[in-house]
């Protein structure tokens, strides 16, 4: 047998055992070498007729195979390489399918993407029940689709359900995969999967067991595919993203012809997808997610965080309530909240309402009463503050109020208590002046509604110590937020990026570009809502006040609308829009331009995107952030920037905009 780094082969009592074990990797994934080695191995086995069967098993304790290596996919640049790579894959799978003996995939742990496609090319599949045994084809979630035969083998095996599983990228535990017909047998968590696979093989060879392989009637595939397409377009708000669209095409066209022809269709669709900017963007978002999923991995190496056994929040308003919700449900520690006496009962009632809503949607592991019992409500600095580990301040956005609060607070909390401010616009360095031991003071900027928005900006003031930043990252992990760390800057990262986006949008409508057109251009770009609607929802007075306080002259249209008392349809009943979502005709006379200005969607998108990028460049040049990924994480999880674009900076790199504007890419890869 040929020497292989990724596969081991041995024979035990006429049964060949292939063990997949990619060296120095926590998970088995397909790399170029791995595919070639597998092809050579099955090429040698193809000639053998002395075996009863073969078992494919993983050398890792809780991972069968996690599919294609995404770095490999992201690096693919030309069509021929993609097609050649796929040919290697299919030639290996085809050889395996033509063995004179059965092949059993023995699945222990993750069996995903190209890993499941490998298992699907086996005669049968047996899986061990375990929390890590999840089975599915999640490729569409990262902007591609199953290109190793998945769009052809799965529908032929289980019927129309495959369409939903592939498009949603759903993963199933072993028992559900058995129910769906993907797996043939499930064994208990304590079972020896290899021994069970040998028994299963014996039963198949001796015909004691018959595998269920019903011929699937796929004659209605056109209707099913159209329904699936409409479903996808609903989620993408009408945008035709290559991954799911071409997955649908591959399934729809592929199941109508022979398997061999179907694979050719899949191959061509896959090449189109994998070379698309959206696939590369989607993969980047996946990497950003992995990077920010574990905030503790962003702490200094070897750092031992301060235990968070008790927390406090100052201010029981909109943000205070949201922050408390996260502390209670995620950390389950006592939380003190301080506000003026009149704010306490309304605060408690609002908090309970949020928690009740979560309980109804089964989002809480602990009864609401138990969580509410952890809350200590006060309007005084009571003794409970004496052993608090972290305080998050969310009082009025007024430097004087905040300064007073810090002075009093520092009298009572321990010297090493972490102090965090949720300010949205006051520099952390300025606020730190009123804090005793300012090295333990840090900005923690949450987004509203706090329990839904995953992003947390951690702001390092001039005096903030690295230890405090690390403790803030530990806090982010404890409340399960996705953090980015930045230095002091007006608007930090996300609001700094949104600022020119808003002002330029307002300038455009001031010059006569219809409101609907500006918004539509950006929703077509992939933003969840258009900029003018976003301003209306946030409160039209918010950017107005922010500009005034920064000494920036607000666009005339903004001034006119705010001065007319129109702060947004939710905030004051009147804004740019009516309740039904259409533009309020009353706002039109407040727009200075009397004639319509014609601009294409692309021109609007280019202009607004460029304005954001200019700020991003400054954020990096001035070292507000050290890594373009921080900006992209902020924009994807703080504003809903389209995940298939991989974040604004990745998108600028992929589409050549960064090189055109600044002569180089943001990412150095």
Token output for 328: 């209670």
Strands (E), 464-511: 482-487
Which position among 90, 110, 445, 622 bears the catalytic label?
445
Instruction: Tell me the C-alpha distance between 106 and 112, whole Å.
Output: 14
**Interface pick for ligand NAI out of 58, 74, 130, 424 (rule CB under 6 A):** 424
Among all chains, which residue has been given the structure tokens 């809480």?
Answer: 364
Binding pattern for the stretch 448-487 against ligand NAI, x by CB under 6 A and - elsewhere: x---------------------------------------
Half-sphere exposure of 370 (CA within 13 A, CB side): 10
**Interface pick for ligand NAI out of 446, 525, 567, 577 (rule CB under 6 A):** 446
User: By the 8 A CB rule, do 482 and 308 touch?
Assistant: no
First to last CA, the chain: 38
C-beta of 53 vs 315, nearer to ligand NAI: 315
C-beta of 20 vs 459, nearer to ligand NAI: 459
- Is 65 known to be catalytic? no
Q: Which residues of 573-600 are buried (b: 16+ CB within 10 A; e: fewer)?
A: ebbbbeeeeebbeebeebbeeeeeeebe
Considering only the stretches 397-405, 510-518, 568-576, 602-610, report the one whose residues sit in contact with ligand NAI under the rule CB under 6 A. 397-405
Binding pattern for the stretch 121-160 against ligand NAI, x by CB under 6 A and - elsewhere: ----------------------------------------
Is residue 399 part of the contact set for ligand NAI (CB under 6 A)?
no
Instruction: Tell me the C-alpha distance between 421 and 475, whole Å.
Output: 13
Q: Give the interface size with ligand NAI as a residue count (CB under 6 A).
A: 23
Residue nearest to ligand NAI (CB): 317
Q: Is the dihedral of CA 144, 147, 151, 153 positive or negative?
A: negative
Which phi and psi angles does 578 have, rounded to 5°?
Answer: -90, 170
Helix (H) or strand (E) holding 523: helix 515-525
Half-sphere exposure of 258 (CA within 13 A, CB side): 2
Is residue 396 part of the contact set for ligand NAI (CB under 6 A)?
yes
Is residue 627 part of the contact set for ligand NAI (CB under 6 A)?
no
C-beta of 343 vs 578, nearer to ligand NAI: 343
Considering only the stretches 114-122, 298-306, 310-318, 411-419, report the one whose residues sit in contact with ligand NAI under the rule CB under 6 A. 310-318
**Interface pick for ligand NAI out of 395, 498, 633, 654 (rule CB under 6 A):** 395
**Interface pick for ligand NAI out of 34, 244, 282, 315 (rule CB under 6 A):** 315
Q: Is the dihedral of CA 398, 399, 402, 407 positive or negative?
A: negative
C-beta of 405 vs 506, nearer to ligand NAI: 405
C-beta of 315 vs 575, nearer to ligand NAI: 315
Is residue 290 part of the contact set for ligand NAI (CB under 6 A)?
no
Token output for 266: 């899949």
Beta bridge partners of 393: 314, 421
For ligand NAI, the binding residues in 510-569 under the rule CB under 6 A are none
172, 134, 159: which is closest to 219 by C-alpha? Answer: 159
C-beta of 317 vs 514, nearer to ligand NAI: 317
Token output for 543: 């950017």
Which positions touch ligand NAI (CB under 6 A)?
314-320, 338-340, 343, 394-397, 401, 405, 422-424, 445-446, 448
Task: Return the active site residues.
Answer: 445
């Amino acid at each position: 047998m040929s020497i292989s780094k990724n596969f081991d082969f041995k024979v035990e009592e006429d049964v060949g055992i292939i063990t997949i074990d990619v060296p120095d990797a926590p998970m088995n994934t397909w790399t170029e070498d791995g595919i070639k080695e597998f092809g050579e191995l099955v090429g040698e086995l193809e000639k053998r007729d002395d075996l009863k069967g073969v078992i494919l098993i993983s050398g890792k304790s809780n991972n069968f195979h996690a599919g294609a290596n995404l770095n490999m996919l992201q690096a693919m640049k030309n069509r021929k390489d993609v097609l050649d790579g796929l040919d290697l894959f299919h030639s290996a799978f085809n050889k395996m399918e033509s063995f004179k003996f059965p092949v059993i995939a023995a699945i222990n742990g993750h069996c995903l993407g190209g890993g499941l496609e490998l298992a699907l090319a086996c005669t049968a599949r047996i899986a061990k029940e375990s929390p890590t045994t999840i089975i599915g084809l999640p490729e569409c979630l990262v902007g591609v689709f199953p290109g190793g035969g998945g769009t052809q083998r799965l529908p032929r095996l289980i019927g129309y359900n495959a369409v939903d599983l592939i498009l949603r990228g759903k993963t199933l535990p072993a028992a559900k995969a058995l129910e769906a017909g993907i797996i043939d047998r499930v064994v208990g968590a304590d079972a020896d999967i290899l021994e069970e696979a040998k028994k299963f093989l014996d039963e198949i060879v001796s015909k004691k067991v018959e595998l269920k392989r019903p011929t699937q009637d796929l004659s209605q595939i056109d209707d099913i595919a159209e329904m699936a397409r409409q479903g996808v377009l609903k989620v993408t708000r009408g945008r035709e993203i290559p991954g799911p669209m071409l997955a649908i095409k591959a399934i729809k066209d592929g199941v109508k012809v022979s398997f061999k022809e179907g694979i050719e269709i899949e191959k061509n669709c896959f090449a189109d997808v994998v070379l698309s900017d959206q696939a590369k963007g989607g993969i980047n978002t996946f990497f950003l997610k992995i990077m920010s999923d574990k905030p503790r991995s962003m702490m200094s190496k070897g750092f031992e965080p301060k235990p968070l056994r008790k927390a406090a929040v100052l201010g029981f308003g909109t943000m205070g309530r949201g922050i408390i919700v996260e502390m209670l449900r995620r950390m389950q520690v006592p939380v003190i909240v301080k506000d003026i006496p009149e704010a306490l009962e309304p605060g408690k009632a609002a908090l309970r309402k949020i928690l009740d809503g979560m309980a109804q949607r089964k989002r809480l592991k602990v009864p609401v009463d138990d969580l509410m019992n952890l809350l200590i409500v006060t309007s005084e600095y009571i003794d409970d503050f004496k052993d608090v580990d972290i305080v998050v301040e969310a009082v009025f956005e007024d430097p004087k109020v905040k300064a007073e609060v810090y002075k009093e607070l520092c009298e009572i909390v321990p010297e090493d208590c972490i102090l965090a401010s949720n300010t949205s616009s006051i520099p952390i360095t300025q606020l730190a002046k009123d804090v005793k031991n300012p090295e333990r003071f840090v900005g923690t900027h949450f987004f509203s509604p706090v329990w839904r928005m995953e992003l947390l900006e951690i702001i390092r003031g001039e005096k903030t110590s690295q230890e405090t930043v690390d403790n803030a990252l530990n806090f982010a992990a404890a409340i399960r937020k996705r953090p980015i760390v930045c230095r002091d800057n007006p608007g930090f990262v996300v609001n700094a990026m949104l600022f020119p986006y808003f002002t330029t949008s307002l300038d455009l409508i001031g010059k006569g570009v219809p409101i609907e057109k500006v918004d539509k251009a950006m929703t077509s770009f992939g933003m969840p809502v258009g900029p003018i609607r976003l301003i209306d929802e946030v409160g039209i007075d918010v950017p107005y006040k922010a500009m005034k306080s920064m000494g920036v002259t607000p666009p005339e249209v903004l001034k006119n609308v705010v001065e007319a008392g129109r702060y947004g349809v939710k905030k004051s009943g009147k804004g740019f829009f009516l309740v039904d979502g259409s533009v309020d005709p009353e706002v039109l006379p407040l727009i200075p331009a009397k004639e319509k200005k014609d601009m294409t969607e692309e021109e609007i998108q280019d202009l607004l995107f460029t304005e954001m990028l200019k700020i991003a460049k400054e954020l990096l040049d001035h070292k507000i952030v050290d890594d373009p990924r921080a900006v992209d994480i902020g924009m994807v999880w703080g504003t809903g920037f389209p995940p298939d674009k991989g974040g604004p900076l990745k998108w600028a790199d992929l589409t050549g905009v960064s090189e055109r504007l600044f002569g180089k890419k943001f990412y150095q890869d």
